Structure 1
């Protein structure tokens, strides 16, 4: 059981949460929701134990597992005795079985060497004895059953094509993220803490995860902007209000939470209006009485007292249920590009012997909108990086047209600088703006832009590396807004964003007058954007976009 008592959380001088108390019991599945920047990731890290609360206490189960939004730490991928960490050993490490598995393989190799010609005199009795002891321990700890379970987990997360002996360092970013999720699930703790677990998952893997979380015995506390996940696997919602700094519990899934919250908002407004009407009525009667006889005027004081009591009983509007804010953005263009924006000629990309893309050709003209569609690992992110100039193709070429100013939104936010403050990040972005005219924007102007993206006060001096995934997404979007680009390359631009924020991004892109190339697993987002063309990977086929292609966008049905 997880129990939080009177917990306060701060980010620097900023209060995020005040006096929160709640429990998570047994195999309960709980979702934490709130607008971007409300402090959800900070709360989850505090519940897990990575951060300390600024007030109150948290009691945790004995065994817990955590998956954050951050990439796999280098320490987890380090070689062991000069041998790169394999997928199998990484997974076995979730239950502390990796060291035994490595030693068993080492003994097997030594025994095999002892049987080769010329080594007949080698005494292997000690090795055989140790092997027998270790194998019994491994089997008793469920090691052989564990390997089968690992295969099932990897297949469920669409990693069945990944060999068990492949080095983890050789996997793509998306594969590493899914592998980290698989390891946390494999560890089978009493409680799982998951921050945006469906990032990098296609539709099939997301459906599998929903079913898995629903039937697993572990309690789950998760953050997700995947509404289908919140509706399918969640039994209770904890809403973190960025305005009131309070945590409110709602029984049921996300859809039930929305209805309950909407009802609470309507009731609160109706009660406030009734009270205000009553106050106005009493004030009118009191004012009329004051102009009458002394006896009648004395009754006015009684009514004044009632008005005062009603006002004191009225709730603080800041603490009433209310609709939460979202950021605001637009995407101005400094100058138009030429008609021809990009031309790709037989582009190929390989990593060593592994071919990711082969002989891809297409053209994009000014103001066209292209969506790149393909399953995980099809090369979508690699293609966008090559178009952006971040990667060079192994073969072929990508030609950029006249006056093409490119803004690139990277899925992993590589364009951001972790050691910079938010203000420094925007200052550098302003300096890098192509074809800038006039003076650089002032600090006051940049802080105003940060405010539009819900970064207020001292957050301007916060380090970028300390931001949550949703906050990094907002900062990266602010960079794009500052640049005046006439061509945007967007790789999963709605990852980690709440519903209201996704709607604002869609509105800004709908009004964008430039050229757009986008990768997204968000089927509703792609459908609303209505691109002109679709590039299907890995085949490299260009088609006019219509809604029948939405079936190829990984999604949850």
Structure 2
């Protein structure tokens, strides 16, 4: 297999397919640090066949790093990764490589190469069985043949052409000529072609990093159904709550404080409920122990005070021996109670329950400098745009009011992002007119982070703003999106999710009164999403959002507009 394909699909095939078992992957005590920063701490788990696992945790906590370690793209500082013999894994990264010089057909043929190898191996075993002279040898070959043929059947070897057509249609890329260079595709098309190639490879373990980011509704639903029938195991990093509800049966969480792995049974809803119960129990047991410690310390103080001020008068009967014995007995008893209390305190402190960390409060609030007085903020009149012979938009008409909530949907490649660029003047109109209210100040969140990799976090945030660095640092930390130690990190050191948070912070700093959001939930971890959604819901101006996030749409509500065949259709109300 050519190495330029490895950034998308890493794989291993240590032996032929003998000995395939139920346990596919074992991870033991994985630890990873970058300098003084601990990312993964003593991570251990097992993945069995048919398990569907969602990997969650805050941005930058190490989810993608763990996938890179599992695919040998990074080395752990400590620990072991053990794949069962003959087990193959496939990996889809968040950032899809360019595949220089390869066509779609090249990738597809490369992806099913393992099936061709299995087929060749089957034929070789058939010939060896036909020539076997000993029953023992025949039995051994037959056992190997049964294993290989089972794997060939499970991976769809007898229906390969049908499967290729099915996967391409399911991901809505069957319109692309197979001779087209992958390098010429859009980012979303590349991601879907990469996912198609990975699914066609049918590895035993699928490792997916945000696979739904570039999929429309129909493609996400198709992927959910496809994975439900998948014969292997799945480990997926995803922010898509609906997808996690429908596609997984376990949740693995990387904790941002201890950097350790916690495991939960069930889908995303079950995980959220379990976390609530866990938090309540943690807070209760911590409080109980704090009260116990407080009582013990109080008792120790009282015993010490009593011991220091205890005095006895002269014996009444001049019996000094009896008197001294009485005093000694009292002192011994007091000392014994003190030692017992101190010992109990040490035991409790040695097994202290850590204080529950504060729940992250993200203050993602927009504060426009000026509200819009116009009843109509944006008017599109007969908008048209074409690229070469391809007509992307034709006679698009719309009016956006001051309090509008518009959810802009449509299949990939229909022109949604282009429409945003036309509104902002980043692309030139072929025909038509865009009219924007004079007081309108547009804030734009692009689909993919567009940041200078060499600038620091604080440099990026304060760019084009007037003020002191301390002021900007305090404001950025106040959002709850970054910590003080993040300020001097370079953008290139950030995960995609952290870059997304930085862009959100930049967006809020611009004080817009109109929001154009292109797939705003992409790359954002689940702990940030709800706060960001809350900020959008309470934004005082119009919001137009391109999104395929079903959970987000239900929460935001508003009008659903669809781009189809170059025109804008305004059919339904979301919710």
TM class, shorter-chain normalised?
A: 0.7 to 0.9
Counterparts of 1:11 and 1:382, CA distance in 2: 40
Of the three residues 526, 549, 570, the one matched with 1:522 is: 549
Any gaps of 5 or more consecutive residues in structure 2?
Answer: 1-23, 118-154, 311-329
Aligned partner of 1:498 in structure 2 is: 525
Structure 1 residue 542, shift from structure 2 partner:
6.3
Aligned partner of 2:315 in structure 1 is: none
Matched-pair contact (CA < 8 Å) for 2:56–2:63? yes
Are 1:442 and 2:457 matched, yes or no? Answer: no
What aligned pairs does 1:207-286 form with structure 2 within 5 A after superposition? Answer: 207-286=221-300
Give the number of equivalent residue pairs: 486
Aligned partner of 2:14 in structure 1 is: none
Counterparts of 1:374 and 1:510, CA distance in 2: 22
Q: 1:324 to 1:96 in 2, by over 3 A?
A: farther
Matched-pair contact (CA < 8 Å) for 2:115–2:201? no
Counterparts of 2:461 and 2:273, CA distance in 1: 39
**What whole-Å deviation, never above 9, does each CA across 1:278-316 have from its counterpart, x for those lacking one?**
334444555555538644533234223322322222223
What aligned pairs does 1:1-12 form with structure 2 within 5 A after superposition? Answer: 1-12=24-35
Q: 1:487 to 1:212 in 2, by over 3 A?
A: same
Counterparts of 1:239 and 1:524, CA distance in 2: 20
Are 1:397 and 2:433 matched, yes or no? Answer: yes
Aligned partner of 1:507 in structure 2 is: 534
Structure 1 residue 60, shift from structure 2 partner:
4.3
Q: 1:174 to 1:326 in 2, by over 3 A?
A: farther
Aligned partner of 2:107 in structure 1 is: 90
* Structure 1 residue ranges, 4+ long, deviating more than 6 angstroms after superposition: 97-100, 141-144
Counterparts of 1:528 and 1:194, CA distance in 2: 26
Matched-pair contact (CA < 8 Å) for 2:457–2:490? yes
Aligned partner of 2:15 in structure 1 is: none
Counterparts of 1:529 and 1:143, CA distance in 2: 44
Matched-pair contact (CA < 8 Å) for 1:287–1:300? no
Are 1:307 and 2:345 matched, yes or no? Answer: yes
Of the three residues 362, 367, 371, the one matched with 1:332 is: 367
TM-score scaled by structure 1?
0.79
The residue matched to 2:188 in structure 1 has which SS?
Answer: helix
**What whole-Å deviation, never above 9, does each CA across 1:511-544 have from its counterpart, x for those lacking one?**
322332211222343343343x54332264565x
Q: 1:537 to 1:185 in 2, by over 3 A?
A: same
Are 1:35 and 2:72 matched, yes or no? Answer: no
Any gaps of 5 or more consecutive residues in structure 1?
Answer: 80-84, 101-140, 432-439, 552-557
Counterparts of 1:210 and 1:370, CA distance in 2: 26
Counterparts of 1:56 and 1:33, CA distance in 2: 21
Structure 1 residue 212, shift from structure 2 partner:
1.9
Aligned partner of 2:445 in structure 1 is: 409
Q: 1:449 to 1:193 in 2, by over 3 A?
A: farther
Aligned partner of 1:46 in structure 2 is: 69
The residue matched to 2:411 in structure 1 has which SS?
Answer: coil
Counterparts of 1:370 and 1:259, CA distance in 2: 31
What aligned pairs does 1:37-116 form with structure 2 within 5 A after superposition? Answer: 37-60=60-83, 63-70=88-95, 72-74=96-98, 76=99, 78-79=100-101, 85-96=102-113
Of the three residues 481, 489, 498, the one matched with 1:471 is: 498
Quick check: which has more Rg, 1 or 2?
2
Aligned partner of 1:316 in structure 2 is: 354
Aligned partner of 1:108 in structure 2 is: none
Counterparts of 1:350 and 1:507, CA distance in 2: 37
Bigger mean CA deviation after superposition, 177-186 or 346-355: 346-355
Structure 1 residue 143, shift from structure 2 partner:
9.2
What aligned pairs does 1:65-214 form with structure 2 within 5 A after superposition? Answer: 65-70=90-95, 72-74=96-98, 76=99, 78-79=100-101, 85-96=102-113, 146-214=160-228
Counterparts of 1:22 and 1:370, CA distance in 2: 43
Aligned partner of 1:291 in structure 2 is: 306
The residue matched to 1:161 in structure 2 has which SS?
Answer: coil
Matched-pair contact (CA < 8 Å) for 1:388–1:489? no
